[in-house]
Structure 1
Amino acid sequence: MELENQVIIVTGGASGIGREACLALAKKGADLIVADFNLAGAEAVAGEVQALGRKAHAFKVDVSKADEVKALVDFAVERLGTLNGMFNNAGIGLVKPFLEMEPADYLKVIEVDQHSVYYGLLYGARKMVELGVKGAFVNTASIYGSVAARGSFNYNAAKAAVVSMSRSGALELAEHGIRVVGVAPGFIDTPILGDDPAAKAPLAIQHMHNRLIQPEKVASVVAFLFTDAASAVNGSTVAVDDGFLSFKV
């Protein structure tokens, strides 16, 4: 119970990595704000957290809107009394060849995947400093923050920015005792990939074990990064990629 009574916000908490992170954090004792644009999904996950004996509240948020992220941070403190951590996890993808990618296609992904991390860091850190909390942030980057993928110019740019913001945020906030870390998942087995094994196979073989990564594997790393045991991990982005960035088949 390394995180007992700590309050942590998880964005994109209704499904996938976010849902598994909520459960992993709760098992370590954390109380959760489950934030998502899908309120019904967030409420369901909050119920799962409560079933584990922890406090949890759902909050509907559009993370691309600065005022809504600020309201999320304020809500966490109003309901649970403090803020110890924030998992800036919400994200989307929109695949198109670069020459067909209109500015609106680019900005939609940038606003959700990149700007939301800035908003979370800004308003979350301001609240922590106000409360005198030496907290931690974990930001979801991607293997595509380090390498390019066809059709993902927008996503590549956003996730590379998350890697950089994790470094810069750690430097800026160190004097306040606040850590900032990134995680870079590989190909994760979530519904977003669909149900066709033939479509998943080319992704799976890019991992050392020739299989997709289960979301709970990422969640366990995220939960660890919020604990004191990870206090020396700061500013870096931890790859949870089963070797994707280390080799090419």
Structure 2
Amino acid sequence: MKNKVVIITGGASGIGEATAALFAAEGARVVVSDIQEEKGKAVVERIKKNGGNAAFFKADVSVAEENEALVNFAIETYGKLDIAVNNAGIGGEANKIADMSLEGWHKVISVNLDSLFYGMKYQIPAMQKNGGGSIVNISSILGSVGFMGSAGYVAAKHAALGITKTAALEYSSENIRVNAVGPAFIDTPLLDQLDDDLKQQLVAMHPIGRFGKGKEVAELILWLGSDKASFATGAYYPIDGGYLAR
């Protein structure tokens, strides 16, 4: 990762924060992006304190122009773009389909799916100028199975696999690899809103007997971003403690 330039959206907490720290520790120059400016800047400061190279850029991934500005910032700051980790996302409104608000549906689709299109629309041309690159889109185990009360999230995460495969087909000949990662329930701030009983029910759905850790997902993302994964493209990599094996 030495001197590689990577953008990580949703980098202020959870999987994004763990991924930013790991890439920086391996020598990458990291652009941490999030809508949470204070937390994002704190992540950058921790990276710098540990000897890494990072910069923060505030962006709302559901807005096309802010994705473009993020890519431009990476190039202006570090001169190029080698890797993009499209990680930002929300759980969204928890309701059955007939009870879900139109606003709730549109918001989760915008943040979790439109963001992937917007991100890649501007990331890919930057990588073309650089002679190639790697894009890792963060989907979910719910990119391949259903989950009651989360129709918008499940739909967006399924769609993330489709757009990932299509991008891989379109750009593999230009040395741009595109893959998707499917975490199960990871111990991140997204789970903080759940009560203890529900958390224990969710833990029981993982044969390994616990939630995953952000750094465990980050290790897979790091591999996919690196040249060690040079033959990996268009694929979906669950990391789920056995969730999908049930």
Question: Normalized against structure 2, the TM-score is what?
Answer: 0.96
CA contact (8 A) 1:84 1:133 kept: no
CA distance, structure 2, for counterparts of residue 103 and residue 196 of structure 1: 26
CA distance, structure 1, for counterparts of residue 54 and residue 223 of structure 2: 19
Give the 5 Å matches for 1:214-225.
Answer: 214-225=213-224
Task: Report whether the alignment pairs 1:111 with 2:110.
Answer: yes
User: Which digits, 9 at most, give the CA deviation of each residue in 1:5-59, with x for residues without a partner?
Assistant: 0000000000000000001111211110000000111111111221232221101
Give the counterpart of 1:187 among 185, 188, 193. 185
CA contact (8 A) 1:166 1:180 kept: yes
CA distance, structure 1, for counterparts of residue 35 and residue 137 of structure 2: 18
Q: Which amino acid aligns with 2:211?
A: L
Q: CA deviation at 1:152?
A: 0.7
CA distance, structure 2, for counterparts of residue 18 and residue 87 of structure 1: 8
Tell me what 2:13 maps to: 15
CA distance, structure 2, for counterparts of residue 170 and residue 154 of structure 1: 24
Give the 5 Å matches for 1:51-130.
Answer: 51-94=49-92, 95-129=94-128
Task: Report whether the alignment pairs 1:152 with 2:176.
Answer: no
Q: Which amino acid aligns with 1:13?
A: G
CA distance, structure 2, for counterparts of residue 82 and residue 22 of structure 1: 17
Tell me what 1:170 maps to: 168
SS at match of 1:83: coil
Query: Which sections of structure 1, spanning at least 5 residues, go unmatched?
Result: none
CA contact (8 A) 1:26 1:52 kept: no
CA contact (8 A) 2:85 2:135 kept: yes
Q: Which amino acid aligns with 1:127?
A: A
Tell me what 1:6 maps to: 4
CA contact (8 A) 1:189 1:213 kept: yes
Q: CA deviation at 1:196?
A: 4.4
Q: CA deviation at 1:228?
A: 1.0
CA contact (8 A) 2:8 2:30 kept: yes
Q: Which amino acid aligns with 1:10?
A: I
CA distance, structure 2, for counterparts of residue 150 and residue 208 of structure 1: 20
Aligned residue pairs, count: 244
Tell me what 1:137 maps to: 135
Question: Normalized against structure 1, the TM-score is what?
Answer: 0.95
CA contact (8 A) 2:85 2:136 kept: yes
Tell me what 2:24 maps to: 26
Residues 39 and 133 of structure 1: is their aligned pair in 2 closer, same or farther, counting only changes over 3 Å? farther
Q: Which amino acid aligns with 1:187?
A: F
CA distance, structure 1, for counterparts of residue 16 and residue 189 of structure 2: 13
CA distance, structure 2, for counterparts of residue 112 and residue 235 of structure 1: 22
CA distance, structure 1, for counterparts of residue 167 and residue 49 of structure 2: 34
CA contact (8 A) 1:163 1:237 kept: yes
Identity %: 39
Q: CA deviation at 1:192?
A: 2.1
CA distance, structure 2, for counterparts of residue 15 and residue 133 of structure 1: 31
Tell me what 1:37 maps to: 35
CA contact (8 A) 1:83 1:133 kept: no
Q: CA deviation at 1:209?
A: 1.2
